[in-house]
A and B are shown apart, each in its own frame.
Chain A
């Protein structure tokens, strides 16, 4: 695939992520902070988001398997996940965390279980999409091109 084609594919892909509500303007803010002094900033921040999210989702799964569920601790963990997803513009994950927190507050086990599955699902999707986007960017750079804004 030629360079122009790759660049067009990236722009279209990125646009679709915003259009379909996977990303919001916070991701644009993140990109604006990347420059020659911090050339890998977006990948670094997104990698931290992946690490954070996977750890928190594992902890939430374990918490919901317990005989006695610590809803307060779970709420704190969902709060953290909401914060990090909001910081990178992972809009759908963030929105689900708000619902999840309401179920934690209400100590609704069924609601929490359902939300956890939904968050895991949305997280899986955004992780795949961001990784695909970064791969496209790398292909463009390897072909000697620049990443279109």
Chain B
């Protein structure tokens, strides 16, 4: 797991109230219909409003059209536009959403290159309840700062 200070000690379960009473939106970007469904349902269970995109270009086009999301789950390897390219493009556009990379269990070098594209965090897929709770906690912190 990589991220800005993310560690197992900060992966605490947030309260049930935080889980249900949030107005956060998420975009799941993955070329696998299975992963899109899995993460879609998982995030909805935590109270987020979710949209999906099948590759990085679809995600970038959504932002170009004026869509905004609090959280973007970005798969790394996708056709048309991969996660690294999409992340770079979103950051170049000035997108400040939390962008979380999801990768397979491959080498640490893979995660490092992805992080350098502009991710906030990078985790192995699929995301676990503990990781989603952690991300919600981080979203709450950023939301309370603004």
Contact = CB atoms under 8 A, between A and B. Distances in A.
A20 B61 CA distance: 46
Contacts of A84: 32, 34-35
Of the candidates B33, B34, B129, the one having the most CB atoms from chain A within 10 angstroms of its own CB is B34
B34 A86 contact: no
Interface string B30-48: 0111110110011001000
A41 B45 CA distance: 12
Contact of A29 (B33, B37, B129): B129
A87 B32 CA distance: 11
Interface string B45-57: 1000000000000
A83 interface: yes
Assign chain B's interface to a size class. Answer: 10 to 19
Interface string B108-128: 000000000000000001101
Interface residues of A, number: 23
A33 interface: yes
A45 B125 contact: no
Interface of B: 31-35, 37-38, 41-42, 45, 77, 104-105, 125-126, 128-129
Given A32-B129, A52-B33, A76-B77, 13 more contacts: A33-B45, A45-B34, A45-B38, A80-B31, A82-B104, A83-B104, A84-B32, A86-B125, A87-B32, A87-B35, A87-B125, A87-B126, A98-B105
